[in-house]
Amino acid sequence: MTRSPRRLAPMVLLLALALTACGGTTKESAQSENTAPPATESAAKANPDAPLKQGLKLAFLPKQINNPYETIVDKAGIEAAKEFAAQAKEVGPSDASASSQISYINTLIQQGQDAILIAANDANAVCGPLKQAMAKGIKIVSYDSDAAPECRDIFINQASSEEVGRSQVKLLAEMVGHKGEIAILSATANATNQNTWIDFMKDELGKPEYKDMKLVKVAYGDDDDQKSFQQTQGLLQAYPDLKGIISPTTVGVSAAARYISGSKYKGEIVLTGLGTPNQMRQFVKDKTVEKFALWNPKDLGYLASYAAAALASGQITGEQGETLKAGKLGTRTIGENGEIILGPPFTFDAGNIDDFDF
Amino acid sequence: MTALAAGGRSARDLAGLVFRARELSLVAALAALVLVTTVVNPNFLSGQGVEDIFLNTSILALLAVGQTMVVITRNIDLSVGSVVGLVAFATGKFLAADPDGRGIVTALVFGVAIGAACGLLNGLLVSFCRVPALVVTLGTLYVIQGVDHYVAHGQQINAVDLPPALLHLGNEGVLGVPFLPMITVAVMLAVGYYLRSYPSGREFYAIGSSPDAARLAGIPVRRRILFAYLFSGALAGLAGVLWLARFGTVIAGTARGYELLVVSAVVVGGVAIVGGVGTVYGAALGALLLTTIGSALVVLKVSSFWQQAITGALLLLAITVDRLLALRVARLLRRRNARHGG
pLDDT of residue A36: 39
Task: Provide mean pLDDT across the span A293-303.
Answer: 89
Give the span between the Cα atoms of A351 and A324, in whole angstroms: 34
**CA-wise closest residue to B62 among B189, B162, B178, B152:** B189
pLDDT of residue B341: 57
**CA-wise closest residue to A224 among B79, B253, B77, B285:** B253
Task: Provide mean pLDDT across the span A279-307.
Answer: 91
Contact A254 B256 (CB under 8 A): no
Task: Provide mean pLDDT across the span B182-188.
Answer: 96
If DSSP codes are grouped into helix, strand and coil, which group holds residue B301?
coil
* Residue among B56, B152, B250 whose CB faces A230 most closely: B56
Q: Cβ(B171)–Cβ(B51) under 8 Å?
A: no
Q: Residue A354 pLDDT > 70, yes or no?
A: yes
Chain B, 127-186: which have a CB under 8 Å from a chain A CB?
Answer: 145, 149, 152, 154-156, 158-160, 167, 170-172
Task: Provide mean pLDDT across the span A166-184.
Answer: 93
At residue A17 the predicted structure's pLDDT band, cuts being 50, 70 and 90, is: very low
**pLDDT tens-digit series, residues A66-119:** 777 888 899 999 999 999 999 999 998 887 777 888 999 999 999 999 999 999
Q: In chain A, which residue's Cα lies nearest the Cα of B170?
A: A262
Q: In chain A, which residue's Cα lies nearest the Cα of B59?
A: A226
- Is B256 touching A (CB cutoff 8 A)? yes
Q: How many CB atoms lie within 10 A of CB B109?
A: 13
Question: Quick one: what percent of chain B has pLDDT higher than 70?
Answer: 92
Comparing A36-40, A166-170, B163-167, B309-313, which segment has the lowest mean pLDDT? A36-40
Contact A67 B251 (CB under 8 A): yes
Interface test with B, best of A186, A230, A236, A259 (most B CBs within 10 A): A230
Looking at beta carbons, which residues of chain B come within 8 Å of A357? none
Q: Cβ(B283)–Cβ(B68) under 8 Å?
A: yes
Task: Provide mean pLDDT across the span B152-163.
Answer: 83
- Is A337 touching B (CB cutoff 8 A)? no
Looking at beta carbons, which residues of chain A come within 8 Å of B60? none
| H helical segments located in chain B | 2-40, 47-72, 80-96, 104-123, 133-152, 164-171, 179-197, 199-209, 211-216, 221-247, 258-268, 280-299, 305-339
Amino acid at A61: L
Q: How many CB atoms lie within 10 A of CB A25?
A: 11
* Residue among A234, A258, A283 whose CB faces B298 most closely: A234
pLDDT of residue B207: 94
Q: Residue B317 pLDDT > 50, yes or no?
A: yes
pLDDT of residue B304: 66
- Looking at per-residue confidence, does B298 or A174 come out higher? A174
pLDDT of residue A29: 38
**CA-wise closest residue to A32 among A49, A53, A16:** A49
In chain B, the domains with their CATH numbers are: 2-339 (1.10.3470)
Burial B284-322 (b: 16+ CB within 10 A, else e): bbbbbbbbbbbbbbbbbeeebeebeeebeebbeebeeeb
At residue A16 the predicted structure's pLDDT band, cuts being 50, 70 and 90, is: very low
Q: Residue B66 pLDDT > 90, yes or no?
A: yes
Contact A282 B304 (CB under 8 A): no
Fold match flag (A8-158+296-343 vs A161-294): yes
B13 Cβ partners below 8 Å, 6+ apart? Answer: none
Q: Give B2-45 as a 3 state SS string.
A: HHHHHHHHHHHHHHHHHHHHHHHHHHHHHHHHHHHHHHHCHHHH
Q: Cβ(A164)–Cβ(A241) under 8 Å?
A: no
Q: In chain A, which residue's Cα lies nearest the Cα of B45?
A: A237
Give the gap in angstroms from C-alpha B154 to the nearest C-alpha of chain A: 4
pLDDT of residue B2: 43
B120 Cβ partners below 8 Å, 6+ apart? Answer: B226, B229, B230, B233
Looking at beta carbons, which residues of chain B come within 8 Å of A278? 156, 158, 160
If DSSP codes are grouped into helix, strand and coil, which group holds residue A341?
strand
Question: Quick one: what percent of chain A has pLDDT higher than 70?
Answer: 88
* Residue among B48, B294, B299 whose CB faces A264 most closely: B48
Comparing A101-105, A109-113, A201-205, B313-317, which segment has the lowest mean pLDDT? B313-317
The residue ranges of DSSP E strands in A194-330, in sequence order, are 213-220, 242-247, 270-273, 291-294, 323-325
Q: How many interchain CB pairs under 8 A, A with B?
A: 107
Looking at beta carbons, which residues of chain B come within 8 Å of A68? 154-156, 251
- Is B81 touching A (CB cutoff 8 A)? no
CATH architecture of residue range(s) A8-158+296-343: 3-Layer(aba) Sandwich (3.40)
Give the gap in angstroms from C-alpha A65 to the nearest C-alpha of chain B: 7
Looking at beta carbons, which residues of chain A come within 8 Å of B255? 226
DSSP β-bridge partners for residue A60: A90, A117
Task: Provide mean pLDDT across the span B266-295.
Answer: 90
Average pLDDT, chain B: 86
Q: Residue B73 pLDDT > 90, yes or no?
A: yes
pLDDT of residue A205: 93
Contact A230 B254 (CB under 8 A): no
Q: In chain B, which residue's Cα lies nearest the Cα of A71?
A: B154
Give the gap in angstroms from C-alpha B43 to the nearest C-alpha of chain A: 6
Give the span between the Cα atoms of A217 and A239, in whole angstroms: 9
Domain edges within chain A:
8-158+296-343, 161-294
Task: Provide mean pLDDT across the span A198-225.
Answer: 90
In Å, how far are A129, A231, B141, B157, B264 from B312, measured between CA atoms? 34, 20, 22, 32, 8
Q: Residue A40 pLDDT > 70, yes or no?
A: no
* Residue among B247, B253, B299 whose CB faces A66 most closely: B253
DSSP β-bridge partners for residue A143: A156
Burial B7-41 (b: 16+ CB within 10 A, else e): beeebeeebeeebeebbeebeebbeebbeebbeeb
Q: In chain B, which residue's Cα lies nearest the Cα of A233?
A: B52
- Looking at per-residue confidence, does B100 or A267 come out higher? A267
Looking at beta carbons, which residues of chain A come within 8 Å of B47? 264
Contact A258 B159 (CB under 8 A): yes
Give the gap in angstroms from C-alpha B78 to the nearest C-alpha of chain A: 18
Give the span between the Cα atoms of B253 and B146, in whole angstroms: 9
Give the span between the Cα atoms of A23 and A27, in whole angstroms: 9
Place domain A161-294 in its CATH homologous superfamily. Response regulator (3.40.50.2300)
Interface test with A, best of B50, B160, B262 (most A CBs within 10 A): B160
Contact B160 A282 (CB under 8 A): yes
* Residue among A220, A225, A281 whose CB faces B247 most closely: A225
Range of A24-38, A96-110, B136-150 with top mean pLDDT: B136-150
Looking at beta carbons, which residues of chain B come within 8 Å of A263? 48, 52
Give the span between the Cα atoms of A213 and A228, in whole angstroms: 23
Looking at beta carbons, which residues of chain B come within 8 Å of A95? 253, 256
Q: Residue B1 pLDDT > 50, yes or no?
A: no
pLDDT of residue B13: 66
Give the gap in angstroms from C-alpha A239 to the nearest C-alpha of chain B: 8
pLDDT of residue A69: 81
Contact A94 B149 (CB under 8 A): yes
Give the span between the Cα atoms of B137 and B81, in whole angstroms: 11
In Å, how far are A1, A56, A88, A253, B257 from A83, measured between CA atoms? 21, 12, 11, 34, 41
Looking at beta carbons, which residues of chain A come within 8 Å of B145? 94
pLDDT of residue A256: 93
DSSP β-bridge partners for residue A324: A332
- Looking at per-residue confidence, does A326 or A20 come out higher? A326
Phi-psi region of A343 (alpha: psi -120 to 50; beta: other; left: phi over 0): left
Contact A68 B48 (CB under 8 A): no
- The rounded Cα B327 to chain-centroid distance in angstroms is 26
* Residue among B252, B254, B300 whose CB faces A225 most closely: B254
Q: Residue B114 pLDDT > 90, yes or no?
A: yes
Contact A263 B52 (CB under 8 A): yes
DSSP β-bridge partners for residue A139: A115
Contact A189 B305 (CB under 8 A): yes
Order of strands across the sheet with A115-118? A87-90, A57-61, A115-118, A139-143, A154-157, A339-341
Average pLDDT, chain A: 83
Give the span between the Cα atoms of A290 and A280, in whole angstroms: 10
Chain A, 219-238: which have a CB under 8 Å from a chain B CB?
Answer: 219-220, 225-227, 229-231, 233-235, 237-238
B131 Cβ partners below 8 Å, 6+ apart? Answer: B125
**Could you say which DSSP state residue A36 is in?**
-
Task: Provide mean pLDDT across the span B163-177.
Answer: 84
Question: Quick one: what percent of chain A has pLDDT higher than 90?
Answer: 40
